[in-house]
Structure 1
Amino acid sequence: MNEKKMKLIEAGVKLVATHGYHNTSIQEIASEAGVSKGAFYLYFQSKEEFIQTAYRFFNTQISQRFASVKQENIPPKEILEKQLTILIDYIYQYKAFIIMHLRENISVGQQTDKLMRQMKMENFHWMRETLEHIYADKVETLIVDAIIQFEGLMNGYFKWIVIDNIHIERDKLSAFLVRRLDDIVYGMLESKEEALTTIARIPPEYLTENQTMEQMISGSLFRLNENIRQLDVNPAKIKQLLEVVDAIEKESDKTETSPVVIQGLLAHFNRFKELQEECEQLARILQVELLH
């Protein structure tokens, strides 16, 4: 990411954490970052887009590091422990960002709400996959209860670190949390607990295999947006590519989409290999052939 853009994000989340989203102006963000207000608009069209970019940036950083750990040839519990250490390091490093998230429930537009929902679903998929790898079919009927309890346990410690500024040794905390996960799962199994909720009872959009066409398109466009923002190109080009994504979303919302229009829009991404995977997925979902 461009250094000036990163400075704006770091300065902005610190101000929002202190004063709140609605009480922080674009001018204040620019001044805190040591740039002009005009420079802010080179990277963000609005304060809402700034918030979206901040969430995307930090979420992408964690996701990429999590994926890297998954490639290591180590047992599933060790993978989880390493991923938790990454998450805890991130919390200590970016406390202002977490405070911004906790301070107020920012709801300033449909796109921000959609982004937050998507991130919540991604977190659920990570936890479900992790528990299935560690406990296999032992946790099958209790997996949602285990996720809810483990998520609550993590969030409890993270809030004490962020809000009350307590210091906990990071490696010890991640190992401690993994042991507590064992206690949660095996405790429920030993006491023969009946599930309070199940996969069948959670909102269907959380289940990849049950996704509707609209949800699949939304997920692919979300990831395409993420990848575009990470491209090492000038801000004007990024803005143009993001406008193409918006155009694809509008076209896909129509009762009858035009394959020719979709093909033409996707062709804008041809020169960027970082975007090809999502383009191919969108083409499959929308049943069009990619132009080369």
Structure 2
Amino acid sequence: MNAKKIKLIEAGMKLFAEKGYHMTSVEAIADGAGVSKGAFYLHFESKKDFIMTAIHYYHEEIAGRIEHVKSENLPPRDSFAKQIDVVTTYIYEYKDFLMMHFYQNISIGENTDAFIKEMNAQNFHWLRQNVITIYGDQVEPYDPDIIIQLEGLINVYFKWIIIDGISIKRNQLGAYIVRRMDDIVSGLLERNEAPLVTAADIPDVYREEGSVVEVLNTMKAKIETLDLAGEKADELREVLKIIQSEAGKEQPQKVVIQGLLVHFQRMPEFATECKDIARLLHMDLLD
């Protein structure tokens, strides 16, 4: 994403936090970024497009922070604790903006449901990956139950930070949550509990579409490692965003995804990922 677009997003988010989404005009966002109203529309079709792009931007920012922690190759428990801590820090940084989302009714178009499903799928696979890395195959029957309880713990603490204003040391919540997860896992194993939610109960969106999300995240990370011109990298990121939105729909248009993947098929570095997406969506790649 280019610098001017990021500057507009940051100016807009600051205004939304101060005045609210509905009370902030396009003109105010442009003024806050030091550009003309016309320049705003060079980057965004509308205020709804702007807020959706901003949410994507911040979501990708936090995903990038998590990936950075993963790349440090810490012991699994330490890595997961630090991942939670970087999310906590992020929430404190953008607390006002997040609070605005809780209290205001913002309609951002028909792609909202698809994007929410994408985020839920990413969150599920993020938690599951850490659970499996820490505990191994012994907890496989309990995967869904552990993830549900873990997600509940994390989300409620974040709700108390955002809505209720409690203060938690940003480098302590992660380790605390990991210890509570140890308690959950040991309790399930010691009591030989029967799972409440089994693998067969997991919604389809967390299966195939969730796997597509993982592949797309790999592709996003790979873009950052390649020596690409700024405009080319921005173009590929935008293509991935559209693919992710389309793949998250109940009935994705495979011909759209096939056409978009051509951008990556021309690059040998993405050959494996293109094949994986085609396999997961049960479609052929275009020649």
- Place the TM-score, normalised by the shorter chain, in its bin: 0.7 to 0.9
SS of the equivalent of 2:158 reads helix
Moved more, 184-193 or 128-137: 184-193
CA contact (8 A) 1:48 1:112 kept: no
Q: Indicate the residue corresponding to 2:5 in structure 1.
A: 5
Which aligned pairs between 1:39-50 and structure 2 lie closer than 5 A?
39-50=39-50
- Which residue pairs with 2:25 in the alignment? 25
Q: CA deviation at 1:219?
A: 4.5
Q: How does 1:154-233 map to 2 (within 5 A)?
A: 154-207=154-207, 211=208, 215=209, 219=213, 233=230
- The total of aligned residue pairs comes to 276
| Partner SS state of residue 172, structure 2 | helix
CA contact 1:144–1:197 (8 Å) conserved in 2: yes
Map 1:29-178 → 2, pairs under 5 A = 29-104=29-104, 106-178=106-178
Give 1:68 shift. 2.9
CA distance in 2, matches of 1:278, 1:58: 24
Q: Which segments of 5 or more consecutive residues in structure 1 lack a partner in the other structure?
A: none
Q: Give the match's secondary structure for 2:45.
A: coil
- Provide the residue aligned with 2:285 in structure 1: 288
Please give the per-residue CA displacement for 1:256-283, whole angstroms capped at 9, x wherever unaligned. x59xx956x6555577788776555556
Which residue identity is paired with 1:3?
A
Q: Give the equivalent residue in structure 2 for 1:16.
A: 16
CA deviation vs aligned residue, 1:17-39 (integer Å, no higher than 9, x gap): 45444443322322333322212
Distance in 2 between residues matched to 1:171 and 1:243, nearest whole Å: 33
Alpha-carbon offset, residue 249 of structure 1: 5.9
Code of the residue aligned with 1:68 in structure 2: it is H
Aligned partner letter, 1:67: E
- Once the two structures are TM-superposed, the CA of residue 188 in structure 1 deviates from its matched residue by 3.3
| TM-score with structure 2 setting the length | 0.76
d(CA) in 2 for partners of 1:137 and 1:128?
Answer: 12
The TM-score with structure 1 as length reference comes to 0.75
Amino acid at match of 2:29: I
State the AA in 2 paired with 1:110: E
Q: 1:245 to 1:221 in 2, by over 3 A?
A: farther
Deviations 1:116-166 (A, max 9, x none): 210110100111111111122332222222212221211222222223333
Instruction: Report the 3-state secondary structure (helix = DSSP H, G, I; strand = E; otherwise coil) of the residue aligned with 1:124.
Output: helix
Task: Provide Cα deviations, 1:51-97, integer angstroms capped at 9, x if missing partner.
Answer: 22222222222222322332333321111011112111211222233
Cα separation, 2, equivalents of 1:222 and 1:29: 31
| CA-atom RMSD in angstroms | 4.0
Segment of structure 1 superposing worse, 64-73 or 198-207: 64-73
Answer whether contact 1:27 1:37 (CA < 8 A) is retained.
yes
Name which of structure 1's ranges 270-279 and 99-108 shifts more when overlaid on structure 2: 270-279
Residue type at the aligned position of 1:149: Q
Q: Which runs of 5+ in 2 are unaligned?
A: none
Specify the SS of the correspondent of 1:136: helix
The answer to which structure, 1 or 2, has the higher relative contact order (CA under 8 A, 6+ apart) is 2
Of residues 278-287 and 113-122 in structure 1, the stretch that sits farther from structure 2 once superposed is 278-287
